């Protein structure tokens, strides 16, 4: 049988404190406002004004990763630059359509 250390509150005859209540989320927050808060917490300031450094880890199919890498080599860019270009192009398409 293993020896267990007694609870400190019980040894000092003190009542145990209740657990903290879970935080509640605001139900009526607009996605744009929630995104601003999320980026403010997660991203770091970038070198040019108006930019942020957002570190992502992507799990891609090998074939897609090789395609993106070949695209970057042909364009004379790094892989991150190609991904940023694709994201910006997709964002513009989403706004205009």
Domain ranges, residue 83: 30-96
What pLDDT does residue 97 have? Answer: 59
Structural domain includes residue 90: yes
pTM to 2 decimal places: 0.59
Structural domain includes residue 8: no
Structural domain includes residue 61: yes
* 22 φψ region: left (φ > 0), alpha (ψ -120 to 50), beta (else): beta
Domain count, the chain: 1
Bridge partners (DSSP) of residue 52 are: 45
Closest CA to 83 of 97, 61, 62, 64: 64
CA atoms within 13 A on the CB side of 60: 13
CB 68 within 8 A of CB 79: yes
What pLDDT does residue 6 have? Answer: 64
Residues 6+ apart with CB under 8 A from 45: 51, 52, 53
Structural domain includes residue 54: yes
Structural domain includes residue 42: yes
What pLDDT does residue 25 have? Answer: 63
Alpha-carbon distance 83 to 89, whole Å?
Answer: 10
Averaged over successive runs of 10 residues, the pLDDT of the chain (97 residues) comes to: 63 76 75 94 90 92 97 95 94 78
What pLDDT does residue 5 have? Answer: 67
């Amino acid at each position: 049988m293993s020896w267990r250390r007694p609870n400190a509150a019980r040894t000092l005859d003190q009542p145990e404190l209740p657990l903290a209540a879970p935080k509640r989320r605001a139900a009526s927050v607009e996605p744009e406002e929630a995104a601003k808060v999320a980026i403010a917490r997660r991203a770091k300031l970038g070198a040019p004004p108006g930019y942020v450094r957002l570190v992502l880890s992507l799990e891609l199919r090998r074939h897609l990763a090789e395609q993106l890498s070949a695209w970057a080599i042909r364009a004379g860019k790094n892989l991150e630059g190609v991904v940023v270009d694709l994201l910006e192009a997709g964002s513009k398409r989403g706004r205009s359509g």
